Amino acid sequence: MGSGHEQVVFCSDPGSGLRAVIAVYSTALGPALGGTRFFPYASEEAAVADALALSKAMAYKNSLAGLDLGGGKAVIIGDPHTDKTEALLRAYGRFVESLGGRYLTACDVGTYNADLDVVARETRFAHGRSEAFGGCGDSSVLTAFGVFQGMRAAAQHRWGSPTLAGRTVAVAGVGKVGSWLVDRLIADGASVVVTDVDPAAVARVRARHSAVQAVADTATLVRTPHDVYAPCALGGALDDETVAVLPAEIVCGGANNQLAHEGTAELLRGRGVLYAPDYLVNAGGVIQVEDERHGFSFPRAESKATSIFDVALRVFAAADAEGVSPAVAADRLAEERMSSVGRLATIRLPR
């Protein structure tokens, strides 16, 4: 396949209305883990394109996180508010099961722990279940923890000390990940300024931390003086206009796909901004989900997620040594592990 993917599966069950695409980018390091996105795609082509891009990103994320997992992703075409039924989710679960463990699914945009509980009634390969069903629950807790570790590493690299104490951090989007991150930052002694399109989300954060400052919108936030910018809303946060005005010395946030285009990382480097690659620092969630395979233990998963600090330091050092952006250095390290550790499967073992 020209895109480099191992396998792409189209799933259809007219009775329940299920139309889904499961993309497996790589199983070099293990089963391909990635969530299921439930989204009203305008066309089947758009759904396939999303599944291909997201599954590749998962392979890089899982590799750099040091997990024994390849990368995959699934998309269900439909409106999660109106099209999600027990029959549809269970039909989807049967297709996941049919892949025999080559693909492991979990939550993503439009799917929640309770949905994965339903999917899991048809397959052994559904993770991200709720705690009552032996699952890891809300993965945003360790996602935010990992972002905080990445930010501490960036502070160490840039300012020589792994703390945000005395710094101002601007958080764009205070939903699940952003609000947990604010808690960590306040506990570390940082000043925090936030924005969110949802006033209730801002109110919840300010009810917990009255010192948190709020501004009207992201355009205002990126012009407000701050040391660290943390995009925690949607993708594409770092477009050319934002990069041009950003006062931050460090960018480190939880959102996926922050760079608006391939040249953005270089633009940030040109302005002297240290960029902590998104898929590196937001891997705490997948680390939390992966732990479910071993019988979920929060302390164990949290201890694994602390490794994001060390990996981030390695990425920053490699980027400096090679004269490239941390985004390029992260990709190289992820590819190197897929290749060197993935190759071990060619050593034949006795059956």
Q: Which residues contact ligand NAD by CB under 6 A?
A: 139-140, 143, 172-178, 195-198, 201, 218, 232-234, 254-256, 282, 285
Tell me which residue of 136, 22, 65 sits closest to 334, measured CA to CA: 65
Q: State which residue, 63 or 195, has the beta carbon closest to ligand NAD.
A: 195
Task: For residues 3 and 1, give the distance between their C-alpha atoms in angstroms, rounded to a whole number.
Answer: 6
Query: Which residue lies nearer to ligand NAD by CB, 48 or 222?
Result: 222
Residue nearest to ligand NAD (CB): 175
Other residues' Cβ atoms within 10 Å of the Cβ of residue 158: 16
Least gap, CB of 138 to ligand NAD (angstroms): 8
The answer on whether 173 is annotated among ligand-binding residues is: yes
Q: How far is the CB of 147 from ligand NAD (least distance, A)?
A: 9
- What is the rounded distance in angstroms from the CA atom of residue 235 to the CA atom of residue 132? 31
Is there a binding annotation on residue 56? no
134 is in an annotated binding site: no
How many C-beta atoms lie closer than 10 Å to residue 42's C-beta? 9
Active site residues: 73
Closer residue to ligand NAD in complex, CB, 88/181: 181
Nearest Cα neighbor of 129 from 142, 145, 118 is 118
What residues contact residue 17 under an 8 Å CB cut-off, 6+ apart? 78, 83, 85, 88
Q: How far is the CB of 282 from ligand NAD (least distance, A)?
A: 4
Q: Does the annotation place 176 within a ligand binding site?
A: yes
Closer CB to ligand NAD, 9 or 33, in the complex: 33
The nearest distance, CB 192 to ligand NAD, in angstroms, is 15
| Phi, psi torsion values for 181, nearest 5 degrees | -65, -40
3-state per-residue secondary structure call for 112-148: CHHHHHHHCCCCCCECCCCHHHCCCCCCHHHHHHHHH
Question: Which segments are annotated as binding site for NAD(+)?
Answer: 173-178
Residue ranges for the binding site? Answer: 173-178
